[in-house]
Structure 1
């Protein structure tokens, strides 16, 4: 990354190469971090965050589970997210707020509870699974399971949880698949390495419940809301592995993945192949939020900022000067 890429780090905007941490950082050794992934979309009304307040709320909830004091309030984090996008001059972006235990002793329990750092990155990021949004992704059921209940809290979006996701994703890639789907410790469907999953069974949209070791996804909630607004029947219930092979349609969703159809599971074609009609309708409703085709009845969009006549570059220059 070039120095024109700015990072908000502990209250200050810094060039990319200056946002550094010490090698004794607790999160490096023990995964003691919580984070969010957020999207900014280029809309007819300028760059807009999608559900920024909901992401920030979950960030603080995740930190609370692990006893991490963020050190800022939610409004301050929202403002910082906007600042770093403006400072980087991005019309659309993937934004990553990260809260982590910083430098200190090497014990599992951190010695200094105040040594918490906060960083926010904003990067250009297209479709997570490339052309799979139109063609569908080929996925597999992983041999790795999600953690059992009352082990790792799946509702918290914590860095350590994603070691399991890495195993699932690496196994899938070694097998020539775009992604892996994990089962829970009970053998029932859970989620993808970094996505929630939906199936269409007999015309009903079905997804595993939040008790199935899944992240309570904000895009997942958005899909359920959009589906019901389209008059679709939605169910959250336990699903066996074979439901993937019975389904007329399957898709994955998440901030990075957005809504990505699944073309095949374990090299078995899903339904008639391609993008099914319900998946397509949901894609159109979702992406329509960002080009004006779908009315934002839920207040999910919020502007990055009002720079008036100033260009993104001017906004970036003024912010950098203010924090110099």
Structure 2
């Protein structure tokens, strides 16, 4: 599938029905467009099956509740919608996007309790998120924006508004020839990349930031399980930026990123080592099992 995302063939599930891709539109006064009252999930299908699909559907509903609205479709109904979209697309390997938002209605200020909640699901072909970085390691910038205090924003919601600083950070990184940016949290500890969690390796042990102010990703949790099964010691903790000098390997995890090695963050370099490669390969085998 090629072309702009608003001009493609195919079908999108919208509010209970499959509609032609180009007709899946919303009004300009949709509340989410103005006030970011929107949540979403990014998922991948492998061999016709969405990996951990139900976990994603549950998180979509939970994210909505965290930003004060209720999705009027159950987990089972969301699962059925995704299955419909995937079947209609004819794709076996695909990226699947489920999104729910406050639509246009009688409210057009900050408050929007009377506006209807809408939902859509789309699927398309999408290759490696970081291109050839899976082989040579991604290059990351150091973002100037920080993940906010959880008392400021609902950090465990996969909410559209939380990605504004991610977009700005990624744009700045790409302008410097980088694939992405590593963000710190509001305290100055290492947090994550703009759309992926981060892991480091030192002397055969793994260190990863404690997700107390950013999303504890489903892929992150999956990789932690793989490491535990191997008996590899994992330290979930606060990591100072100065510690990057002592780490030997680094990788990112996320539905889009999958498991992607990192070769450089700012002035710090990392090898694409055996543990990084083997975890990436094991994850690939797991999602296609």
TM-score (norm 1): 0.85
Question: Hey, what does 1:65 align to over in structure 2?
Answer: 66
Match among 31, 35, 42 for residue 36 of structure 2: 31
Partners of 2:204 and 2:96 lie apart in 1 by 35
Distance 1:144 1:257 in 2: 21
Q: Which residue of 2 aligns with 1:40?
A: 45
2:244–2:268 contact (8 Å) kept in structure 1: no
Of structures 1 and 2, the one scoring higher in RCO (CA 8 A, sep 6+) is 1
Deviations 1:139-190 (A, max 9, x none): 1221111112211111000010010111111111122211100001111011
Change (3 A) 1:190 1:290: closer
Q: Distance in 1 between matches of 2:133 and 2:242?
A: 23
Query: Relative to structure 1, is the Cα distance of residues 98 and 208 closer, same or farther in structure 2, using a 3 angstrom cutoff?
Result: same
Question: Alignment partner for residue 273 of structure 2, among 273, 276, 293?
Answer: 276
1:181-200 paired onto structure 2 within 5 Å:
181-200=182-201
Inter-partner Cα distance in structure 2 for 1:245 and 1:34: 36
State the match for 1:216 in structure 2. 216
CA distance in 2 between partners of 1:199 and 1:3 (Å): 39
SS of 1:167's equivalent? Answer: helix
Hey, what's the Cα distance between the residues in 2 that align with 1:165 and 1:236? 23
d(CA) in 2 for partners of 1:258, 1:287: 8
Deviation at 1:234, TM superposition (A): 1.2
For the residues of structure 1 that align with 2:163 and 2:128, how far apart are their CA atoms? Answer: 20
**1:7 aligned to 2:12?**
yes
Offset from partner CA, 1:283-322 (integer Å, 9 cap, x none): 1110112444xxxxxxxxxxxxxxxxxxxxxxxxxxxxxx
For the residues of structure 1 that align with 2:10 and 2:244, how far apart are their CA atoms?
41
Q: Distance in 1 between matches of 2:276 and 2:217?
A: 18
Residue 232 (structure 1) shift: 1.1
Which of 105, 109, 112 lines up with 1:110 in the alignment? 112
Give the C-alpha shift of residue 91 in structure 1: 1.1
Give the whole-Å Cα distance in 1 for the aligned partners of 2:109 and 2:45. 38
Q: What SS does the aligned partner of 1:122 have?
A: strand
1:59-112 Cα shifts (integer Å, max 9, x gaps): 111011112121111000011101101011111110010000001232000152
Instruction: Please state if 1:201 is matched with 2:206.
Output: no
Assess, with a 3 A threshold, how the Cα gap between structure 1 residues 82 and 33 changes in structure 2: closer, same or farther.
same
Structure 1 unmatched ranges of 5 or more: 293-324
Larger Rg: 1
Deviations 1:39-69 (A, max 9, x none): 1012xxxx11100011111111101111212
CA contact (8 A) 1:244 1:250 kept: no
Contiguous gaps of at least 5 residues in structure 2? none
Which contiguous aligned blocks of 4+ residues in structure 1 show a shift greater than 3 angstroms? 1-4
Which position in structure 2 is the counterpart of 1:298? none
**Equivalent residues, number:** 283
